[in-house]
Structure 1
């Protein structure tokens, strides 16, 4: 059995009005780096058998901060990228409603299956992300995965048997941790959206 430490990347810049970010490659803010430093301290005593991260820079940087001073490779896996939003990328909700009449409403009615032009659905995301994590389930020990809010929710929905229509019921704040016990035929969720500094008992060496 492996224990999956599934982390969302640290904070990135947000703008008002908010925009669809998807796979746009934003770096961490100073707050995001501070959040990652807190996890470096909290996880200092936890050994990792493997580390896999989204290849977007906000995830790579989060993992690099957490693992600073440790030996071992960080494997970048594009299957852990955030959802691709195609022609929605970089637009506000008002922009989307003006340029693609009815598309925003259709997405709201079918959050699992709707694909923007040139983009993905959350069902697509779940398929690729679960495949990436499944390859780690055979390991014995702790595995760190740093990914994104949408990706992590899709993985958790799979583990919980929860319909993707409800994925936004799962909180996934910046740089928060989820814990899952992975066996090849059974995934068990033991923690969701955990903050550093709380008295959680992490698996030891």
Structure 2
């Protein structure tokens, strides 16, 4: 949160799930910045797979994990979402945020959602979403001031701003 202390956010939007809300509240502590929640920024819903390890998924749903690997963007676990589904709802939510916001806006979302949004903004095939690193609590800097959105920073880990990883 201290890395973001100097940024004069005018508003903030977070997924309505607890992890993101807690992160947003920590970042905004002591500031008079309105925070609203957006269900469209929720992480992918895996329903029957929720809370399972890869080994458990492979055991309970033979062949499904492999099928997901063959079509990472389009595979949908029973009752769940595909990354195409996530992209559709997340892009709609994000575009509404961009349309209705002014100035510096804090958006707190989940890794899968971030990857879908970044693929969309970069014109990258969604099937390549895991080529984009998204560490926990990383920063992505997006600039909408010009004619086209610019990804000015990607997967920035606050600790690495001052202490780069050693080779």
TM-score (normalizing by structure 2): 0.90
**1:105 pairs with one of 66, 71, 84:** 66
Q: Distance in 1 between matches of 2:7 and 2:72?
A: 36
What is the number of equivalent residue pairs in this alignment? 160
Per-residue Cα deviation, 1:121-174 (whole angstroms, up to 9, x for no partner): 001111111111111223331111111110000000000001111100101001
Map of 1:114 onto structure 2: 75
Q: List gaps (5 residues or longer) in structure 1.
A: 1-39, 200-205
Q: Which deviates more, 120-129 or 181-190?
A: 181-190
Gaps of 5+ in 2: 163-167
What is the alpha-carbon distance in structure 1 between the residues aligned to residue 14 and residue 81 of structure 2?
A: 19
Partner residue in 1 for 2:121 = 159
Shift of the alpha carbon at 1:109?
0.4
More helix by share: 2
TM-score (norm 1): 0.74
- Displacement of 1:43: 1.3
Q: Which has the higher contact order (CA 8 A, sep 6+)?
A: 1
Q: CA deviation at 1:183?
A: 6.0
1:126 matched to 2:105 = no
Residue 185 of structure 1 deviates from its aligned partner by: 6.9
**2:135–2:157: 8 Å Cα contact kept in structure 1?**
no
Q: How far apart, CA to CA, are the structure 1 residues paired with 2:145 and 2:86? A: 21
Answer yes or no: is the 8 Å Cα contact 2:10–2:34 preserved in 1.
no
Q: Determine the C-alpha separation between the residues in 1 that align with 2:38 and 2:152.
A: 24
| Match among 45, 60, 71 for residue 21 of structure 2 | 60
